[in-house]
Amino acid sequence: MSLIRLSKSSVGDEEKEAISKIIDAGYLGMGEEVRLFEQDIKSYLGTGHEVICVNTGTAALHLSLQAIGIGFGDEVIVPSLTYVASFQSISATGATPVPCDVDLKTGFIDLIDAEKRVNVNTKAIMPVHYASNSMQMEGVYEFAKKHKLRVVEDAAHGFGCKRNGVMIGCEGDVICFSFDGIKNITSGEGGAIVTGDQAVANKIRDARLLGVEKDTEQRYRGSRSWKFNVKHQGWRYHMSNLMAAIGREQLKKLDKFAINRKKNVEKYQKELSGIAGLRLLDIDYSEIVPHIFPLRILQGKRDGLMEGLRKNNIESGIHYFPNHLLDLYQSNYDLPNVELLYEELLSLPLHSELTPEEQNRVISIIKDYLL
């Protein structure tokens, strides 16, 4: 029985060839290829907003928070049900991540709970596009307006998705994507920030290159800054030509990836809906390129089912361990929905190369175990 992977990169000859070209050209660092990837992303999204590529999604979040002025003494509200990257990016600025509950049906940030977390130090909110869903985002912007907060969207799961017909990234304050190995597209590792705020974009451009002012322009011309000024803390967070070359090929394949990911989810939904003992999330997948497929396994059966899948050489996952239960981010209050979901959530295999036959194997084990 072959191994069924929970997630995987889908890369091939096109990416190999693209990397070869960069190696032959002899300039691996940040240069023209990164500029072209940023342009390609802009065209793909159809946005006039600024696009800045960096070396991880975490770096994208960190730089965005820094650029909107988040630092020591500030608080940022963030759902506890997310990858620890969201939390780390906040604490990296010196600010405090304030964990918040989520909606039991979707895993999206619960704004009623968020309301309890606001105080004079609250400066921003970081909604997460959990399982690529962001249908409730309008509420976050109303909340932000009411409390005068900036919004940094963790859209690591959201690249290529739409909301009400609009591509994610085209609307909103500061939107961050991840291109790590298993996301909807990959650049090996990588990430991008999209924002309509020119000043924030310029700060991010400098900060990704150790704060060297306007170094981006030099590097895009194949040059370097030999006389320069630095006014702000920066980081070594830029993207390399090698990564961008992979990313550009992946972007060309995204529409194809999207078709298979959508088909996978439709099949899971069709075959698993109505089974007592599990509950699908209440997510409308029609405009989504689904990154993960989490569902709830009820009656304390999640761990047993996970083990049953493993015995049949099928990987599954739990997205995510609650951040407010980690030593570093411990809260002195409970977040009941996040804690319940942590006991129930199970993510099924989902990637662009998953076949219907493989899905049948997954589905039959779930049915055998629960029915």
Ligand X SMILES: *Cc1c(COP(=O)(O)O)cnc(C)c1O
Q: Point out which residues bind ligand X (CB under 6 A).
A: 56-58, 82-83, 85-86, 128, 154, 156-157, 178, 180, 191
Nearest to 134 by CA among 112, 103, 155, 110: 155
Nearest residue (CB) to ligand X, 126 versus 245: 126
SS3 content of the chain, % helix, strand, coil (to 5): 40, 15, 45
CA pair distance 178, 180, nearest whole angstrom: 6
Which residue of the chain is nearest ligand X when measured via CB? 57
Report helix, strand or coil for 296.
strand
CB of 24 to ligand X, least distance (A): 28
Nearer to ligand X among residue 85 and residue 348 (C-beta): 85
Q: Are 277 and 301 in contact (CB under 8 A)?
A: yes
Contact 25, 161 (CB under 8 A): no
How far is it, in rounded angstroms, from Cα 32 to Cα 186? Answer: 19
Distance CA 222, CA 365 (A): 55
| Number of C-beta neighbours around residue 142 at 10 A | 11
Q: At closest approach, how far in Å is the CB of 39 from ligand X?
A: 21
Q: Which is nearer to ligand X, 243 or 354 (CB)?
A: 243
Minimum distance, C-beta of residue 146 to ligand X, in the bound complex (Å): 25
Of 75 and 153, nearer to ligand X (C-beta) is 153
Residues with Cβ within 8 Å of 281's Cβ and at least 6 positions away in sequence, in order, are 105, 106, 107, 131, 133, 294, 295, 296
CB nearer to ligand X: pick between 31 and 247: 247
Give the separation between CA 74 and CA 234, rounded to whole angstroms: 19
**In the complex, what is the shortest distance from the CB of residue 337 to ligand X, in angstroms, rounded to a whole number?**
17
Shortest spacing between CB 193 and ligand X, in angstroms: 12
Looking at the Cβ atoms of 35 and 129, the one nearer to ligand X is 129
Between residues 86 and 93, which has the closer beta carbon with respect to ligand X? 86
250 vs 370, beta carbon nearer ligand X: 250
CB 30 within 8 A of CB 224: no
- With CA atoms as reference, report the closest residue to 207 among 360, 335, 92, 324: 92
DSSP tag of 278:
E
CB of 124 to ligand X, least distance (A): 15
For residue 196, the minimal CB distance to ligand X (Å) is 22
Residue owning tokens 């105080």 = 119
DSSP SS3 for 281: coil
Distances (CA, A) of 3 to 79, 104, 310, 313, 361: 33, 31, 9, 5, 11
Q: Rounded to the nearest 5 degrees, what angle is found at the Cα of 298, between the Cα atoms of 329 and 370?
A: 140
Q: Which is nearer to ligand X, 82 or 240 (CB)?
A: 82
Pairing relation of β-strands 293-297 and 345-348?
A: antiparallel
Closest contact distance (angstroms) between CB of 368 and ligand X is 30
CB of 108 to ligand X, least distance (A): 12
Minimal distance in Å, beta carbon 175 to ligand X? 12
Is 160 in contact with 132 (CB distance < 8 Å)? Answer: no
Of 176 and 370, which has the nearer Cβ to ligand X? 176
